[in-house]
Amino acid sequence: MNRRLFFALVLLMEVPVCRVLAAAEPARTQPASPKWILAEAEKARAEGRYLQAKPLYQQLLQQAPPPEIAAVVQKGLGEVNIRLILSSAIGPNAEIYVVKPGDTLSKIAKNFHTTVDLLRISNGLQSDRLRPGQRLKVVKAHFSVLVDKSQNTLTLKDGEEVLKVYPCATGREGITPVGNFNIVNRIVDPPWYSPEGLIPPKDPRNQLGSRWLGFDTPGYGIHGTTDPTSIGKPVTHGCVRLTNQDVEELFILLPQGTPVSIVD
């Protein structure tokens, strides 16, 4: 509309110009409160809308929320990150790989520095048999682990991004070694070579639980437990101890060669 004609119409209507201009402006909304954003994030997570939940959690963390909200955000974001990795969703840390003749899951896992377990789960595979031309999601994350003895926490990272923080148990009197290590062996239902002798897998006395991720320093690693109440305490013989559920989750993700840092 011509500007001169606009003001002429305003005068004819005997309406103040400021009122007309204000009505034409879009309504200004107040920034969403942290509690509202958290409620939306939690709702999206509960409904399985993980791609929508993740940026909401990340937005909250950038706002430095109070401790009670931050704890809920960290837990929710951790679950969302793992769910996305295990799902068929193609995020920034994944790509589609087209199966070639002669490929096996083990070969693909080795080439992409991932695990067969993760290939199976993220692609919903019911069999290890592959066919040429088949399209697979391949996770290309650069996983690493940071264990903080002072907090009894284990942090899973992808590059610089914190994916999830797990409570853990570490060695009594600080005997868990500090330094940089690599995961060199992965064992399902490990036997325990205890001071009393060999204790077989799944024996209630076997303190290693359901999984073992061994370091390149013999005798040390990350494992499960038969005593979940010990998690969060400095009570082990030197290893890093998780609940069976948590160590089984890490076992799916972490291939041989994954770096592990332990700090005081």
Distance CA 80, CA 77 (A): 5
Cα 83 from Cα 249, distance rounded (Å): 11
**What whole-number distance in Å separates Cα of residue 154 and Cα of residue 250?**
11
The answer to whether residues 212 and 223 touch, using CB atoms and an 8 Å cutoff, is yes
Number of Cβ within a 10 Å radius of residue 219: 11
The answer to whether 137 and 108 have CB atoms below 8 angstroms apart is no
* Active site members: 223, 239
Q: Are 258 and 155 in contact (CB under 8 A)?
A: no
What φ, ψ does residue 228 adopt, rounded to 5°? Answer: -60, -25
- Cα dist from 209 to 34, 200, 221, 239, whole Å: 39, 11, 12, 12
* Chain centre distance of CA 39: 20
Tokens of 93: 């840390």
Alpha-carbon span 90 to 85, nearest angstrom: 9
